[in-house]
A = this chain, B = another copy of it.
Amino acid sequence: MTSAAFDVLGIGNAIVDVISRADDSFLGTHALTKGSMMLIDEARAEALYAAMGSGIEVSGGSCGNTMAGVASFGGRGAYIGKVRNDQLGAVFGHDIKAIGVSFETALATTGPSTARCLILVTPDAQRTMSTYLGACTGLGPNDIDIARIGSAQVTYVEGYLWDAPEAKKAVLKAFDAAHAAGRQVSITLSDSFCVGRYRDEFRTLIRDKVDILFANEDEIKSLYQVDTFEKALEAARAENKICALTRSEKGSMIVKGSETHAVPAAPVAKVVDTTGAGDLYAAGFLFGYTHGKPLAECARLGGIAAAEVISHVGARPERALKDLV
């Protein structure tokens, strides 16, 4: 196996976030479930946007945020995701390259516009997301460069990709290419509703292909359809993979066969916006992992990154994460 050009290569839905504040009654009026991610079509996106308050636009996408975190730690990252050749696509491409992540996926020149995620932040700092996938649905196996995948220590993907059938095929191609090159692959389950949509596929995938699994408490309980975190933890342990399970202010638990590490959360003065917490946890963990750190230290780095991102509005780090460790 040759030395790796990249620490982490991420594949995800390339999305520009539109972040606005809202109160609980707005969520009720628009039938939004607090804390969840819901897929919406373009007409619904336009109607919801028209009803929302003024916003800020900022590059996002779960995996894009993770790659921003890896780069912020000083890691070498690459990203694969699909935007259109429109203004928001230019914003996404600029931002991910500006932070030092290699991004060479061909732009869509026809079809739906660049994806947007309408994020409503309520006074309790929770975020509720409505995503119009747009150009992301055009990501497919042709966007996967086998050599590029083979040049990354870990290929990391978001479960959300299962919402676009061609993107799922791209992931499977990438996973096979990574393993053929002697590399490792990782997935985040993304969202408990996403797990509900693709539970059986995810369980098969984890058993057969995944080396490192990320999930929060709701997601892992949904995956194994159990009612306590402890049962979910034991089911995850039985996979005999590295499973990093996050529990918000309770920190995270890492299991790998008989190994168990409980790592407390990093302190946060004030939680402002929880958007990106899981994405940045994965960033810290994978940065540590690809730099040869022990699992407990990987989890600690994940916690530091998550703490930074929830202390301000927006899902990408504002401070250089390498300065925080």
A163 located at the interface, meaning its Cβ lies under 8 Å from any Cβ of chain B in the complex: no
User: How many angstroms between the C-alpha atoms of A276 and B99 in the bound complex?
Assistant: 27
Residue-wise, chain A 288-316 has the 8 Å CB interface mask toward B (1 for contact) of: 00000000000000000000000000101
> Are B56 and A314 in touch, CB under 8 angstroms?
yes
Closest to A46 in B: B90
Residue among B53, B68, B87 making CB contact with A86, cutoff 8 Å: B87
Residues from chain B with Cβ under 8 Å of A113 in the complex: 87
Residues from chain B with Cβ under 8 Å of A314 in the complex: 56
A95 located at the interface, meaning its Cβ lies under 8 Å from any Cβ of chain B in the complex: yes
A98 located at the interface, meaning its Cβ lies under 8 Å from any Cβ of chain B in the complex: yes
Residues from chain B with Cβ under 8 Å of A95 in the complex: 54-55
User: How many angstroms between the C-alpha atoms of A99 and B54 in the bound complex?
Assistant: 6
A58 located at the interface, meaning its Cβ lies under 8 Å from any Cβ of chain B in the complex: yes
Chain A: interface residue total (CB-CB under 8 A): 24
Residues from chain B with Cβ under 8 Å of A91 in the complex: 55, 57
Residue among B52, B57, B87 making CB contact with A98, cutoff 8 Å: B52
Residue-wise, chain A 29-65 has the 8 Å CB interface mask toward B (1 for contact) of: 0000000000000000000011011111111000000
A197 located at the interface, meaning its Cβ lies under 8 Å from any Cβ of chain B in the complex: no
Residue among B54, B59, B88 making CB contact with A94, cutoff 8 Å: B54
Residues from chain B with Cβ under 8 Å of A57 in the complex: 56-58, 91
Residues from chain B with Cβ under 8 Å of A59 in the complex: 54
Residues from chain B with Cβ under 8 Å of A54 in the complex: 59, 68, 94-96, 98-99, 316
User: How many angstroms between the C-alpha atoms of A88 and B57 in the bound complex?
Assistant: 10
Q: Which of A1-24 contact B (CB under 8 A)?
A: none
Question: What is the count of identical protomers in the complex?
Answer: 2
User: How many angstroms between the C-alpha atoms of A68 and B52 in the bound complex?
Assistant: 16
Residues from chain B with Cβ under 8 Å of A316 in the complex: 54
Residue-wise, chain A 76-96 has the 8 Å CB interface mask toward B (1 for contact) of: 000000000011100100111
Known contacts A87-B87, A88-B87; is A56 also within 8 Å of B53 by CB? Answer: no
Residues from chain B with Cβ under 8 Å of A58 in the complex: 56-57
User: How many angstroms between the C-alpha atoms of A56 and B19 in the bound complex?
Assistant: 11
Interface centre among A55, A57, A95, A113 (most CB of B within 10 A): A57
Residues from chain B with Cβ under 8 Å of A114 in the complex: 87
Residues from chain B with Cβ under 8 Å of A98 in the complex: 52-55
Residues from chain B with Cβ under 8 Å of A86 in the complex: 86-87
Closest to A113 in B: B87
> Are A53 and B99 in touch, CB under 8 angstroms?
yes
User: How many angstroms between the C-alpha atoms of A99 and B98 in the bound complex?
Assistant: 31
Q: Which of A265-297 contact B (CB under 8 A)?
A: none
Closest to A89 in B: B87
User: How many angstroms between the C-alpha atoms of A50 and B59 in the bound complex?
Assistant: 15
Closest CB in chain B relative to A317 CB, distance in Å: 10
Residue-wise, chain A 98-114 has the 8 Å CB interface mask toward B (1 for contact) of: 11000000000000011
Closest to A86 in B: B87
Q: List 11 A-B contacts (CB under 8 A).
A: A54-B96, A54-B98, A54-B99, A55-B94, A55-B95, A55-B98, A56-B56, A57-B91, A86-B87, A87-B113, A87-B114
